[in-house]
Structure 1
């Protein structure tokens, strides 16, 4: 298949961006013992080299891309500062902002602060001034006691994660104290009550003011599998920074509950809902889009975060990738584009009755969220070791499979972008096929 120059450039850069982002974000690691959250002797690292072992130098094309990224950020941030500074969301057409909760969390500011810090490192004075204003807002205005009820997962990955990333980027190693760390500790302590369930699986919502957790009654009290299993990196890292094992213990308890549920179900593919009451998966679909996606992503990242010392997560990740290749991957008949299908549960009315996905209805639909998987597969294939791109002959058979699948999935995502007629891309793709090629 012939690819455009844009697609080829994107594929070449994808492995660099994803691997570098993960390792830089979690270079400060810890051991697998929840009672001793300290860094291992050799923290995870990522060295970009050419196949000849030389450091990669930025070329003219890289400089142009970097300038385009900085300018795009400035354009968006100026509008947000002008119209909605401090609000969670921004509506560019109406030039207004809104909050996702009563008091607002400053989602956009806190979730963007680490990006601003990275852009500031280019020496851009305008970006530096933007950082100063954002940092001052976090220091003087952000008050979690006034917020009210929030989504536990979104608040963890965007606000707690944003604060911890900003703290880590202040220096290497990070300082013992900062406004970001203080705010992170306050927020985590307010989120912890949602983990106080019989299984340790957190409740979907948390009232930060009252410090209480609340189940999602719209889903019968069940928690989203992806949401419950995409909190671990942030809480573990906070234990590492503070020496307080409570955050680590809460994260690990969730992992144990999910592993136990997997033992009783069989396949390494997880349904998208799990019960905080009994720790069992609920009758629900299997997909790599919403409510399922980041479960698989965080398996690999937890393994890398602790410098490859917790092999359980690598084992679970490998089993999941095997199952994805066996059950979910398919190709379109004409262009041979790789995509992930979904299994809709029509034969599992009661938990545990017929957990045999080969009898479920297959839907040839892929969420745009699934595009994350291309980067995860390529990262898992190399574990950020050696040159990028790797020498395939040096990889194992399964690693070669994963690298190629990751590349092909990115091609599919880019193909949908290049054929889009709208300014914004579609949230999902439905494959209209008569004869589907199973992977």
Structure 2
């Protein structure tokens, strides 16, 4: 798979474009797409983003305003986008555009006719810039509804170079080597793996990478759609494998109970905060880069990254993303979708850091450092050779809500990794209900 070479790309990717005084590559924001004038028209956009992500997306919306004359208001949805949009639709005040995080939610909304198909111009821009795989993920029953504006490579493990050097650890290529290197780090006095188990979605990502690599893409597709049950032997094998890590207190930063109290941003700061690190490794997507910077570490020096090790024949390639959909079919909403499908909109956020785009026409020079350029190039080069986050493809009640469904079952599994069969029964019970509703 193309992304299996992500580590080499991340560590050796050469810079493109001009360099600023700090060595970061800088590229001008392109103007490749024609947008209509929308003076006086107002749009409301909702997403889960807050903090730095909201600030960077606001710059994208400001560029759209500058080019069209429209006024765009951003409204944070909170973590439960499905419930937020549902309440707005029920009150007959839906936002114009929503950035959905789950494929399953897009399908639910399309089936309920809450969202509107892409217009002709947006469809043309999407087809020009995105691989068929990403176009299909934004479609329902063959009709394009969404634009995957912000995507992620969820098959990455980030490590503290000082901790690895001190322990004499090396980048593992297989699951067995990962466990071996984690024990080597533990023997050096540093807790090996930091897990943000308070956020259940991090645990679904652990499971999905193990399952995809071990069971293969066909079985992954079947489990994603509940064509096989969660009591299947392939799930037993994946959970048993994951228990090799979750079940060893010496390999988890602050143990299982500590992991369950740790939110995702804390899991990164434990690995890369100034002074002696409390952890050597943390698993998650490319957006970890922003948290690394927040912790005061330098990407490429203090923090490096390697692909999720192969559990089976091939290393996994799991992706995620935020898809823009229209809840109102207006000239302004379709224009914004067209803009978000263009390399112009991708470049605005990419140059700020914290965004990876699947847009094939985005100049890699838009990214601010070689590490992000390498990750982005690997993802684009993968073409259709990837699988989308499994929990994000499920109905939200199973794959996308705190304290229930898959998030809760895997948190319980982290608490008691010996309970493989009980975890499977709970997962199957919750999945059967969600897929039948």
Report if TM-score (shorter chain) is over 0.5: no
Higher strand share: 2
What TM-score does the superposition give when structure 1 sets the normalisation length?
0.25
What TM-score does the superposition give when structure 2 sets the normalisation length?
0.25
| Higher RCO (C-alpha 8 Å, min separation 6) | 2
